[in-house]
Amino acid sequence: MKIAVVGDTDTVLGFKLAGVHETFEVSSPSEAREVLNELVGREDIALILITDSLASELELPDVRLPIILTVPDRWSEGKGEARLMEIVRRAIGVEIKR
Amino acid sequence: MPELLNVKPTRMELLNLKRRIELAKKGHKLLKDKQDALIMEFFAIYDEALELRRSLTEKMQEAFKALTLAEVDIGLIPLKEAAMAVKPNSEVEIRSRNVMGVSVPMVQGGNFRRKERGYAFISTSTSVDVAAEKFEEALEVIVRLAEVEETLKRVAKEIETTKRRVNALEYIIIPRMEATRKFIEQRLDEMERENFFRLKRVKALIEARSGSGA
């Protein structure tokens, strides 16, 4: 199954070079949401990569498949780790620093 | 004071209730054990996810740096052209497996690193190769992280629902049944006392009557 990337120009360009199957260059969160909604319904996509900056501006769909993963972009500093912390806080009830 | 269940205060109900309380307590203990085990599992996965996250951040920073260099080297338009010509990389497969009753994904990815990418050698330079290679490396981390982070999310969700069930049993269902049991017991005692007193009273009356008749 395929990997898809939703992100800004740089991220898309980079992953294109790496040979990711489908890339979607978006310029606004609402555009990203549209692309996401469409991708989620597709059966041949296994993995959707979305940049941290875009992901923090919209609510990610809650689906089992495809897996949606946020990836760092040029400007996101530690947003991915913050998201992990949030998962821990919700599950355990306390924050744990490591 | 927890509210009472809507049952009649009879011996039958009391027996029933006692059995249900025992069952609820057993269930509570089991769920609590499950929760503890899930939390242990959760932290093992969390450590791995954090490590992968950090290495991905690092890799992506390197990749963007290399991308900038490539852009400076051959220009944005030729770089975009080269990217258009890149052949698709290997695909991934998702299977699922079971961790403590939670179905979690297993992402199996091919090898993303390669020598031949499909763009022309003449119009590009080694800087483009470096950038592509860095993004391929990032992709490898991404595929592993996708599995681990998704697993973490699902285990976290399971912990949440288990916690809710444990709490519901501990703070609402069991106290409510206990309160009802106490209520029935008191009620039955009361009825017994009433009956005892009634018998005494009848006996006294009969004795008084037979005493006056004699």
Please spell the DSSP secondary structure of A13-41, one letter per residue.
HHHHHTT-SEEEE-SSHHHHHHHHHHHHT
Whether the predicted pLDDT of B213 surpasses 70? no
Q: Nearest-CA distance from A13 to chain B in Å? A: 7
The verdict on a CB contact (< 8 Å) between A19 and B112 is yes
What is the domain-level CATH number for residue B112? 1.10.287.3240
Least confident of A26-35, B87-96, B112-121: B112-121
- Is residue B99, in this structure, part of any structural domain at all? yes
The verdict on a CB contact (< 8 Å) between A84 and B138 is no
Whether the predicted pLDDT of B214 surpasses 60? no
Give the mean model confidence (pLDDT) for residues B59-74: 91
- Is residue B195, in this structure, part of any structural domain at all? no
- Is residue B198, in this structure, part of any structural domain at all? no
- Reported as a single tens digit per residue, the pLDDT across B2-14 is 788 888 889 999 9
A94 touches chain B (CB under 8 A): no
Whole-number average pLDDT of chain B = 89
Q: Of A47, A59, A86, nearest to B152 (Cα)?
A: A86
Name the residue facing A71 among B136, B142, B153 (closest C-beta). Answer: B142
- Is residue B135, in this structure, part of any structural domain at all? yes
The better pLDDT of the pair A83, B191 is held by B191
Query: How far is it, in rounded angstroms, from Cα B166 to Cα B35?
Result: 9
Give the mean model confidence (pLDDT) for residues B158-170: 93
Which residues in chain A are contacts of B153 at CB distance < 8 A?
87
Name the residue facing A18 among B64, B135, B157 (closest C-beta). Answer: B135
Query: How far is it, in rounded angstroms, from Cα B59 to Cα B38?
Result: 31
Q: What is the pTM of this model?
A: 0.83
Whole-number average pLDDT of chain A = 87
A73-82 core/surface letters (b: 16 or more CB in 10 A; e: else) = bbebeebbee
- Is residue B190, in this structure, part of any structural domain at all? no
Among chain A residues, the shortest Cα distance to B134 is held by: A18
My answer on whether omega of the bond before B9 falls inside 30° of 0, hence cis, is: no
Which residues in chain B are contacts of A47 at CB distance < 8 A?
92, 94, 107, 142-143, 146
Q: Which domain holds residue B82?
A: 26-172
The verdict on a CB contact (< 8 Å) between A18 and B139 is yes
A3 touches chain B (CB under 8 A): yes
- Reported as a single tens digit per residue, the pLDDT across B121-141 is 777 788 888 888 899 999 999
Give the mean model confidence (pLDDT) for residues A41-66: 87
Structure confidence at residue B170 as a pLDDT band (50, 70, 90): very high
Whether the predicted pLDDT of B56 surpasses 90? yes
Whether the predicted pLDDT of B206 surpasses 90? yes
pLDDT at residue A5, rounded to an integer = 93
- Of chain A, the percentage scoring pLDDT greater than 90 comes to 29
Identify which of A54-58, B101-105, B158-162 has the greatest average pLDDT.
Answer: B158-162
Q: Are strands B92-99 and B102-109 parallel, antiparallel or unpaired?
A: antiparallel
Least confident of A1-10, A29-38, A58-67: A58-67
**In this structure, what token pair is assigned to residue B141?**
């981390």
- Is residue B116, in this structure, part of any structural domain at all? yes
Name the residue facing A84 among B49, B86, B94 (closest C-beta). Answer: B49
Name residues 14-73 of chain A within 8 A of B (Cβ).
14-21, 46-47, 49, 64-67, 69, 71-73
What is the tally of structural domains in chain B? 1
Whether the predicted pLDDT of B27 surpasses 90? yes
Whether the predicted pLDDT of B114 surpasses 90? no
pLDDT at residue B1, rounded to an integer = 65
Which residues in chain B are contacts of A10 at CB distance < 8 A?
64, 67
φ/ψ of residue A24, rounded to 5? -130, 115
The verdict on a CB contact (< 8 Å) between B150 and A49 is no
Give the mean model confidence (pLDDT) for residues B197-207: 94
pLDDT at residue A97, rounded to an integer = 64
Whether the predicted pLDDT of B104 surpasses 70? yes
pLDDT at residue B22, rounded to an integer = 96
* Domain A2-73, second-level architecture: 3-Layer(aba) Sandwich (3.40)
Per-residue DSSP letter, A61: P
Which residues in chain B are contacts of A13 at CB distance < 8 A?
67, 79-80, 83
**In this structure, what token pair is assigned to residue A61?**
């769909």
Which residues in chain A are contacts of B150 at CB distance < 8 A?
67, 69
Q: What is the DSSP string of chain B?
A: -PPPPS----HHHHHHHHHHHHHHHHHHHHHHHHHHHHHHHHHHHHHHHHHHHHHHHHHHHHHHHHHHHHHHHH-HHHHHHHHHHPPP---EEEEEEEETTEEEEEEEE-----S--SS-TTT--HHHHHHHHHHHHHHHHHHHHHHHHHHHHHHHHHHHHHHHHHHHIIIIIHHHHHHHHHHHHHHHHHHHHHHHHHHHHHHHHHHHHHHHH-
pLDDT at residue A96, rounded to an integer = 64
